């Protein structure tokens, strides 16, 4: 689940629940979700501190501590956050639990444990080391075209490559390509400036619409592919039947009628 829109929603969730309160305790329930930091270091660093602000870059969420430094959260495939008071509300796959002085808790729930929690000193350094491309909501259309220009390979692969542009994964790449009427296997080099411009606009429109609706698939417009990700399902534009293929190593859903393979 957690692509750019989801992580942006998590960021706003942290902003509205967890800032400016003293952290009373920290519990690491499964060390597999830790990045480079040890459980002890994480506990000693967070205890007694407060969260001051948040930042998102691609699919990464950073939470700033009141004495500098950042808590990094990456949600993998199944990560999410939950803020609650009574421990009977503790989510089922709570791997990392922060307890505040106000008796509320923030849980990092991560069923498949592919998410990561870590401590970061320098955001720019982190982004540089990961070689992340620009965040998809931060770059303009010129930079977008530059990032794609001269690349080889399939457009879906490029959209999902965090080193090209950061934030989009399998689900939203399908959505963007559907909205832009581009077949997922289209070679990037076959897209002219107009097509890249269209792709850029649809990327922004899709991501922003998803964020506005809390990244909840149920709340997205019916014109979106997202809730029709089943083979044989009718295309939301009424043009064809949704098909499932392997593209860029992932399962891609698309509408052959809206997204013809003609110019791949």
Partner DNA sequence: AGTACCACCTGACGGC
Partner DNA sequence: TGCCGTCAGGTGGTAC
Rank residues 11 and 93 by Cβ distance to DNA and give the closer one.
93
Task: Determine the 3-state secondary structure of 72 from DSSP.
Answer: strand
Is 3 one of the annotated active-site residues of the chain? yes
Catalytic residue status for 2 = yes
> Residue 113, interface with DNA (CB under 7 A)?
yes
234 belongs to the catalytic site: no
CA–CA dist 138, 208 (Å, integer): 12
CA 252 to chain centre: 17
- Torsion-angle region of residue 20: left (phi > 0), alpha (psi -120 to 50) or beta? left
Active site residue 175: no
Near DNA by CB under 7 A, which window of 20-28, 37-45, 111-119, 255-263?
111-119
Site residues (CB under 7 A) for DNA, limited to 212-241: 217
**Rounded Cα distance, 95 and 32, in Å:** 9
- CB nearer to DNA: give 106 or 210: 210
CA–CA dist 243, 252 (Å, integer): 8
- The yes or no reply on residue 111 touching DNA (CB under 7 A) is yes
Measured between alpha carbons, how far is 235 from 231 in angstroms, rounded to an integer?
10
Q: How far is the CB of 140 from DNA (least distance, A)?
A: 21
2 binds DNA (CB under 7 A): yes
Dihedral-angle region of residue 147 (phi above 0 means left; psi in -120 to 50 means alpha; beta otherwise): alpha
Q: Which of 153, 192, 223, 231 binds DNA (CB under 7 A)?
A: 153
Active-site amino acid positions: 2-3, 59, 250
Binding site for DNA (CB under 7 A): 1-3, 6, 32, 58-59, 74, 76-77, 93, 111-114, 130, 150-154, 157, 160, 162, 169-171, 217, 248-251
């Amino acid at each position: 689940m957690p692509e750019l829109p989801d992580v942006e929603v998590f960021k706003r969730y942290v902003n509205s629940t967890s800032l400016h309160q003293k952290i009373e305790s920290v519990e690491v329930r499964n060390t597999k979700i830790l990045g480079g930091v040890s459980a002890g270091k994480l506990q000693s660093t967070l205890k007694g501190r407060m969260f001051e602000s948040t930042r998102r870059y691609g699919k990464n969420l950073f939470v700033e501590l009141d004495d500098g430094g950042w808590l990094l959260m990456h949600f993998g495939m199944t990560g999410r956050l939950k803020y609650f008071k009574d421990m009977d509300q503790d989510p089922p796959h709570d791997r990392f639990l922060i307890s505040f002085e106000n008796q509320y808790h923030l849980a990092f729930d991560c069923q498949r444990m592919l998410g990561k929690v870590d401590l970061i000193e320098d955001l720019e350094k982190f982004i540089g080391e990961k070689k992340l491309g620009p965040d998809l909501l931060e770059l303009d259309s010129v930079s977008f075209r530059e990032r794609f220009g001269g690349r080889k390979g399939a457009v879906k692969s490029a959209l999902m490559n965090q080193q090209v542009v950061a934030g989009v994964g399998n689900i939203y790449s399908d959505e963007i390509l559907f909205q832009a009427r581009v077949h997922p296997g289209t070679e990037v080099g076959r897209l002219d400036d107009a097509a890249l411009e269209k792709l850029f606009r649809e990327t922004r429109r899709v991501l922003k619409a998803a964020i506005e609706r809390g990244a909840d698939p149920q709340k997205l417009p019916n014109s979106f592919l997202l809730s029709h990700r089943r083979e044989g399902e009718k295309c939301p534009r009424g043009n064809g039947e949704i098909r499932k293929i392997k593209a860029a190593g992932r399962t891609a859903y698309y509408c052959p009628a809206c997204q013809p393979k003609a110019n791949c």
